[in-house]
Chain A
Amino acid sequence: MKLAGARILLECLKMEGVDTVFGYPGGTVINIFDELYSFPEIRNILPRHEQAGVHAADGYARASGKVGVAIATSGPGATNTVTGIATAYMDSIPLVVITGQVPTALIGNDAFQEVDIIGITRPCTKHNFLVKNVKELAGIVKKAFYIARTGRPGPVLIDLPKDVQVAVTEFKYPDKVEIKGYKPTIEGHPKQVEKAASMLLSARKPVIYVGGGVVLGNAAAELRKLAETLHAPVTTTLMGLGSFPEDSPLSLGLLGMHGTFYANMAVTECDLLVAVGARFDDRVTGKIPAFAPHAKIIHMDVDPTSIRKNVRVDLPIVGAVQDVLTKLNAFLEERRDAVESFRKSIKPWLAQIEGWKAKQPMGFKESAQVIKPQFVIRKLRELSAPDAIIATDVGQHQMWTAQFFTFTSPRTLLSSGGLGTMGYGLPAAMGAQAAFPERQVIAVCGDGGFQMNLQEIATLVQNRLPVKVCVLNNNYLGMVRQWQELFFSKRYSQTVLDLPIDFVKLAEAFGATGFTAAKPDEVEETIRKGFSTPGPVIMEFKIDREEKVLPMVPAGASLNEMVLAS
């Protein structure tokens, strides 16, 4: 049977198992939304801004591991998606973003609401497609999903001109994809993995440095097995948090700019650094020549361009972490005696690390007068469900969440790490809640970033998505203020948000519920009330305004030159 392009698109989404899309209508996508009536299995959640729609698709993808889907109209709808796409690109999140486009005959004519979104998104998508003929449409959608989710995942954009949505053709969804130039290496080379096993077993001061690749590649179980077999300490990046239980004695927590004293000391002193799906970001390495200066480096990554991009590597292993770690665990299994003596020989190293932990544990100065943000985060952990999903915005509150929440399972922290996009937290939580209606989903926001996408409270209420939003209100663009305090002699240029906002009224204006806490002894009760109130809730915590995120490695300094909490 012949179908129109718009119909074919939705048939393809259905074939891909898409159950939720985040789409915003407009002239060039009316046909697609009209066809939605025939697809009860696909739910559209209407955001209030296309940027939020893409962040929601991203939150949906991070929480569920599936490909997130967003739809926007041409021109301004398409440009509004760009920040969302770039956010997903930097953190390797699988998305398919569909934009309407002016009819093919008008492309290039500066037609109404025409923009070259293919050109604009070329550097921030894994790949993008302009569909010029309806006959290509099904094949392109198939390829788009395949490219988005395989290898190093990432966002793919499909630009779909209006006339192609109307044109008809025979619909057949291809069962196989064949792309000549795209063959990601999934299997790690056994010889390389064997070498890694030997290097590990001859190390005396090993550290396993774990990144987002373990979350993306669903390899938390394999990682845990490796660490527990070897009794080797594990530190994670912001993106890796949750892939290794932070309540394990082997966990060193976060490393890097706002990492723990002991993680950064261990990396500085180690003789072998095993990077697992991490990309040596400058927030992690600090000054490169002083990064792990005594260590041999093993780097496992599915993307060859991540390897030797920023640091020298002694043993590269290209492949998916799940495959590589499974092989590595098998090699170690065969060498039980060597593993046994390895465990003995690294005891002094573990003791040295315990010394660092005892000397500078993660902590903060508690107060009975003013709410400490770290205290709020600890209370959130204590009072939330064990499988709660936490989305953060960007700034100080994001780092306090990373430092103090104690993440224990993958896909429970959703945070914009690579792009650091303010405004991400609330819509990402919305997407996660759409993926898991029954789980507890919490957004931790600053007062600044919350205001960048607060219109989505409307979407939460309308779609009965009971996200609990915690606003850590310092009336500052706190992270920038912290830099101004430390490096610009406290000249707080344009970081003071001195308008007192009534968050309770704000919530009520949208039909949500609001609570506010101004004193430490109100924190627990506010959280309890917030969690037990049905529907979306905004909880405001008036926190110590000038609290800093510490430890901190100043930009360009080496990891052992931390500013510590006093």
Chain B
Amino acid sequence: MRHTITVLVENEFGVLSRVAGLFSGRGFNIDSLSVAPTNEDSISRMTIVTRGDEQILEQITKHLNKLIDVIKVIDFTDGSAVEREMALVKVTAEDDNRAEVLRIADIFRAKVIDVTPKSYTIEVTGSPSKVDAILELLRPLGLKELVRTGPVAIGRGAKGWKG
């Protein structure tokens, strides 16, 4: 099963390799990982998408918690979070399909951020499944290049992660 896990970490030297090393060393999967500083000086926030059965996920969260630089681990799998991901997509856009690409972009409220006579580069933001959906439509038209951020997640409701 797919899990989205948020990990709050101290902004220490090497913390990313500690987390990544934990996953590779113990044979856990990482589908995606995104990381950046937060509003608090010393804290960065990672969003990791992983998969595994219940026992494996329990081990993943326990091992993350065990890392000294990890302050908090939240498993958002129960749907208690909003997830967003951004993708930049370079699509073949020549005479016959230029209009089709724009139409698809429009439906998904995606933006064209770079144009050449042979291509459009599109920025799309949304839930991971929305990104999957637009990619599915664009793929037959010719995907030249794709970059996804991997999802970031934040809990629903008024409370922050500290409660």
A interface residue numbers (CB < 8 A to B) = 118-119, 122-123, 126-127, 130, 132, 147, 179-182, 303-305, 308-309
Q: Which of chain A's residues have a CB closer than 8 A to the CB of B14?
A: 118-119, 122, 130
Q: How far is the CA of A126 from the CA of B63 in the complex (A)?
A: 12
Interface pair B67/A305, CB less than 8 Å apart: no
Interface pair B13/A180, CB less than 8 Å apart: no
Q: How far is the CA of A173 from the CA of B68 in the complex (A)?
A: 21
Q: How far is the CA of A130 from the CA of B72 in the complex (A)?
A: 23
Q: How far is the CA of A178 from the CA of B64 in the complex (A)?
A: 19
Shortest C-beta distance, A152 to chain B (Å), equals 8
Asked, given contacts A305-B59, A308-B55, A309-B59, whether A181 binds B17 with beta carbons under 8 Å apart, the answer is no
Q: Is B159 engaged at the interface, CB distance under 8 Å to the other chain? A: no
Q: Which of chain A's residues have a CB closer than 8 A to the CB of B9?
A: 181
Q: How far is the CA of A375 from the CA of B72 in the complex (A)?
A: 55
Interface pair A303/B66, CB less than 8 Å apart: yes
Kindly supply a per-residue 1/0 record for chain B positions 4-24, scoring 1 wherever the CB is within 8 Å of any chain A CB and 0 otherwise.
000001100110011001000
Q: Which of chain A's residues have a CB closer than 8 A to the CB of B66?
A: 303-305
Asked, given contacts A308-B58, A309-B59, whether A127 binds B13 with beta carbons under 8 Å apart, the answer is no
Q: How far is the CA of A132 from the CA of B14 in the complex (A)?
A: 13
Interface pair B13/A130, CB less than 8 Å apart: yes
B interface residue numbers (CB < 8 A to A) = 9-10, 13-14, 17-18, 21, 25, 55, 58-59, 62-63, 65-72
Interface pair A181/B68, CB less than 8 Å apart: yes
Q: Which of chain A's residues have a CB closer than 8 A to the CB of B62?
A: 304-305
Interface pair A179/B68, CB less than 8 Å apart: yes
Shortest C-beta distance, B36 to chain A (Å), equals 18
Q: Which of chain B's residues have a CB closer than 8 A to the CB of A118?
A: 14
24 contacts between A and B (CB under 8 A): A119-B14, A119-B17, A122-B14, A122-B21, A123-B21, A127-B68, A130-B14, A132-B13, A147-B68, A179-B68, A180-B10, A181-B9, A181-B10, A181-B67, A181-B69, A181-B70, A303-B66, A304-B62, A304-B65, A305-B59, A305-B62, A305-B66, A308-B58, A309-B59
Q: Which of chain B's residues have a CB closer than 8 A to the CB of A132?
A: 13
Shortest C-beta distance, A118 to chain B (Å), equals 6
Shortest C-beta distance, A156 to chain B (Å), equals 9
Shortest C-beta distance, A131 to chain B (Å), equals 10
Q: How far is the CA of A122 from the CA of B21 in the complex (A)?
A: 8
Q: How far is the CA of A179 from the CA of B9 in the complex (A)?
A: 12
Closest B-chain residue to A307, C-beta based? Answer: B62
Q: Which of chain A's residues have a CB closer than 8 A to the CB of B18?
A: 122
Shortest C-beta distance, A515 to chain B (Å), equals 46
Interface pair B55/A123, CB less than 8 Å apart: no
Q: How far is the CA of A303 from the CA of B67 in the complex (A)?
A: 12
Q: How far is the CA of A556 from the CA of B88 in the complex (A)?
A: 50
Interface pair A305/B13, CB less than 8 Å apart: no
Q: Which of chain A's residues have a CB closer than 8 A to the CB of B70?
A: 181
Which of B13, B66, B72 has the most chain A CB atoms closer than 10 A to its own CB? Answer: B66
Shortest C-beta distance, B41 to chain A (Å), equals 13
Closest B-chain residue to A309, C-beta based? Answer: B59
Interface pair A180/B21, CB less than 8 Å apart: no
Q: How far is the CA of A309 from the CA of B65 in the complex (A)?
A: 15
Q: How far is the CA of A180 from the CA of B40 in the complex (A)?
A: 14
Which of A179, A180, A181 has the most chain B CB atoms closer than 10 A to its own CB? Answer: A181
Beyond the given A119-B17, A130-B14, A181-B9, please list 8 additional residue pairs across the A-B interface where CB-CB is below 8 A.
A118-B14, A122-B14, A181-B10, A181-B68, A181-B70, A181-B72, A305-B59, A305-B62
Give the top 6 A-B pairs by smallest Cβ distance, nearest first: A305-B62, A127-B68, A181-B71, A304-B62, A181-B70, A180-B71
Q: How far is the CA of A412 from the CA of B113 in the complex (A)?
A: 71
Which of A119, A122, A147 has the most chain B CB atoms closer than 10 A to its own CB? Answer: A122
Closest A-chain residue to B72, C-beta based? Answer: A181
Q: How far is the CA of A303 from the CA of B18 in the complex (A)?
A: 18
Shortest C-beta distance, A268 to chain B (Å), equals 23
Interface pair A182/B63, CB less than 8 Å apart: no
Q: Which of chain B's residues have a CB closer than 8 A to the CB of A126?
A: 68
Q: How far is the CA of A304 from the CA of B64 in the complex (A)?
A: 11
Q: How far is the CA of A132 from the CA of B17 in the complex (A)?
A: 18
Q: How far is the CA of A146 from the CA of B62 in the complex (A)?
A: 21
Shortest C-beta distance, A130 to chain B (Å), equals 6
Interface pair B63/A305, CB less than 8 Å apart: yes
Q: Which of chain B's residues have a CB closer than 8 A to the CB of A130?
A: 13-14
Asked, given contacts A130-B13, A309-B59, whether A182 binds B25 with beta carbons under 8 Å apart, the answer is no
Shortest C-beta distance, B10 to chain A (Å), equals 6
Q: How far is the CA of A309 from the CA of B21 in the complex (A)?
A: 18
Shortest C-beta distance, A323 to chain B (Å), equals 19
Closest B-chain residue to A152, C-beta based? Answer: B66
Q: How far is the CA of A127 from the CA of B55 in the complex (A)?
A: 25
